[in-house]
Each structure stands twice: as structure tokens, then as C-alpha cells.
Amino acid sequence: MKKDFQKIRVIDSHTGGEPTRVVIEGFPDLGNGTMAERLEVFKSDFDNLRSAIVKEPRGHTAVIGALLCEPSDKNCIAGVIFFDNAGYLGMCGHGTIGLVRTLEYLGKIKTGKYKIETPVGIVEAELDENDFVTIENVPSYRYKKDVEVEVKSYGKITGDIAWGGNWFFLIQEHSFELKLENLEELKRFTISVRETLNKNEITGKNGHEVDHIEIFSPTEKADSKNFVLCPGHEYDRSPCGTGTSAKLACLYEDGKLKEGETWKQMSIIGSIFEGKVRIDNGKIIPIIKGNAFITAESELILDKDDTFCFGIR
């Protein structure tokens, strides 16, 4: 008897080294609600497909998934729901850049400005003639400044809690050299910080978990170099779009960045985003510029007889 396989078509890309896997066909219908409402359907009814798409053996811990949807807002070219090996993301800057290049690859858009609906709001993206994508993110802000925590084995650590589409704890003062040779120690430290925040019930607004930890250092090649721990204990290869957005909001509120002034943010592997802010009715709107490259077009095959059909959990 011929098996009835489930097949999911995807386009892979990377933005500054960070992979994005855009699901373009084969996913179950999530209804006609907003992206926030469809996210809840995804989470409650199809979480097994999340892990099937991004976890091993088909994926790996760094892959960010992006489900391409018809937008509920007709002013938008597309809707998107972002997810990873640990769960779901409100917004993803590098993933949005990857999504825009994917839409171009599919022939759905050309150079120009487009609106994209996400679970946390509408973002605007512009694709230029040099294949760079500039994103106007959701309004970002610092929630708490100079939050001090006692981290086991590391002592007192101070950071800012800020929103850039996801929640971040941003640490400027630390003793680490941000280079790949120190990757495991950087991961141990940032995981310890996040565990300490959770243990002490230190959260973002309305009790939301601060699930991204970001540390910074000066560098001659940009305005700043960062290391970002993502929710699934993996690090961001790109400079992190939502993390850069949170950083820009803090810089602006501290008077260290003027409206329209460019800030170059480098990642742990050396890729760079250009960022700036504009102010709209008192709200800080981060603007992030980067580029992405298509790496694969493939069809995922799900065989329910496979013990690891829905990922290694």
C-alpha cells in the first residue's frame, strides 16, 4: 500500500548568517483571524509541525521558522508567524528580511515598500535595487533601566529590560571578549542570567518572560558588537533585528543616539545591520537594514511511521 505522506514546501535563506525557513505550502489552514489569533491556533493545534519543521532531523537549533500567511489586513502584502525550536516569536527582524527576499525569489514582489502583518503588529519593509531590505519595526521602548541581579558564579549583573518585538535583557558591562572562541562560556553566562531573571520573576511588561539575553562590547568595525542568546539556548548569528531595535530604543532614551543617526551593530560572527530611529507621536520606531540570501528550496516529507517525524524533542 502506498503511503500517504504529508509534504511541506519551504524556502531557506540566511540573513547575516542566521537561517530562516519560510513555509510556503502544505501547512494546515489556521483560519482568517489576525496573525495573533492564528498564532494561538498554530500553538494549540499544530505545535507538532513547529518541531517537525525546525528541529532535528530536518532542522537544527539555529533555524527560525516563518509561516507565510494571507494577511487579515488587506494593506499588507503578507502575514507571517515566526517560530523556533523553543516556541514562538512575536517578531523577528532577520526573519522578516529573509521573508522579503523569499517573496522576491517567488516573484511576488519587486523593489519597493511593503507592509507585513505579524502577531505583534504591522511592520514595513523596503526592498532596494541592491537587494538590501530595510525594516520599520514595531514601536520599541525600554521598560526598566539598570536592573540588578545576582547571578550564581558571576556576581552582580546590571542590564536594561527593553522591547523590540521580543523581550530583551541588555548588558553593557561585563568581562567577556565577544569572539567565537568564547562561545560556550558566553552561552553559559547568558543562560545563567536568563535563569536568574526567571527565578526572581523579573519580567517584561504584563509579566512576559524576558527570553532573549544580549551583551555588548565596543569594536573598531562598527558602533557595537553583540552576542544574543535566543529562547532555545542557541545564539543569533546575525546582529538580531529585534535585539538591535531594543538597543536603539535604549540608546535614544539615554540621549546617545539622535533621530535619523545611523548605528552599526555587528554580530558575534561579524555580520552587520545598520539601524536608526524615527520618532512618531513620541514612539520610537526602529529602522533596521540588512540583506539575506536564498540557500535552498525543498519539500519536507512527514512520514507518521517515523519515530522522529515531528522532530527530536
Q: What is the pLDDT of residues 108-118, one digit of tens each?
A: 999 999 999 99
The yes-or-no verdict on residue 155 having pLDDT over 90 is yes
**Rounded CA gap, 73 and 53, in Å?**
26
Mean pLDDT of the chain: 97
Instruction: Identify the band that residue 302 occupies on the pLDDT scale cut at 50, 70 and 90.
Output: very high
The yes-or-no verdict on residue 290 having pLDDT over 70 is yes
Phi-psi label, residue 206: left if phi above 0, alpha if psi -120 to 50, beta otherwise: left
Look up 69 and say whether it is catalytic.
no
Neighbours of 35 (CB within 10 A): 26
- % of the chain at pLDDT higher than 90: 97
Spot the catalytic one: 69, 76, 240, 250: 240
In this prediction, residues 221-246 reach a mean pLDDT of 97
The yes-or-no verdict on residue 137 having pLDDT over 90 is yes
Instruction: Identify the band that residue 8 occupies on the pLDDT scale cut at 50, 70 and 90.
Output: very high
Instruction: Identify the band that residue 151 occupies on the pLDDT scale cut at 50, 70 and 90.
Output: very high
Helix, strand or coil, per DSSP, at residue 109:
coil
The yes-or-no verdict on residue 10 having pLDDT over 90 is yes
Domain 6-136+294-302 has CATH 3.10.310.10: yes
Look up 92 and say whether it is catalytic.
yes
Question: For 59-94, how does the pLDDT look when each residue is reduced to its tens digit (9 = 90+)?
Answer: 999 999 999 999 999 999 999 999 999 999 999 999
In this prediction, residues 38-56 reach a mean pLDDT of 98
The yes-or-no verdict on residue 134 having pLDDT over 90 is yes
Instruction: Identify the band that residue 200 occupies on the pLDDT scale cut at 50, 70 and 90.
Output: very high
The yes-or-no verdict on residue 2 having pLDDT over 70 is no
Contacts for 100-104 with beta carbons within 8 Å, 24 or more apart?
100/125, 100/127, 100/133, 100/292, 101/13, 101/127, 101/131, 101/133, 101/291, 101/292, 101/293, 101/294, 102/11, 102/13, 102/20, 102/22, 102/24, 102/68, 102/294, 103/77, 103/78
Question: For 247-260, how does the pLDDT look when each residue is reduced to its tens digit (9 = 90+)?
Answer: 999 999 999 999 99
Residues of the chain with CATH 3.10.310.10: 6-136+294-302, 141-289
Spot the catalytic one: 92, 230, 250, 309: 92
Instruction: Identify the band that residue 49 occupies on the pLDDT scale cut at 50, 70 and 90.
Output: very high
In this prediction, residues 154-178 reach a mean pLDDT of 97
Considering the domain 141-289 in this protein, what is its CATH number? 3.10.310.10
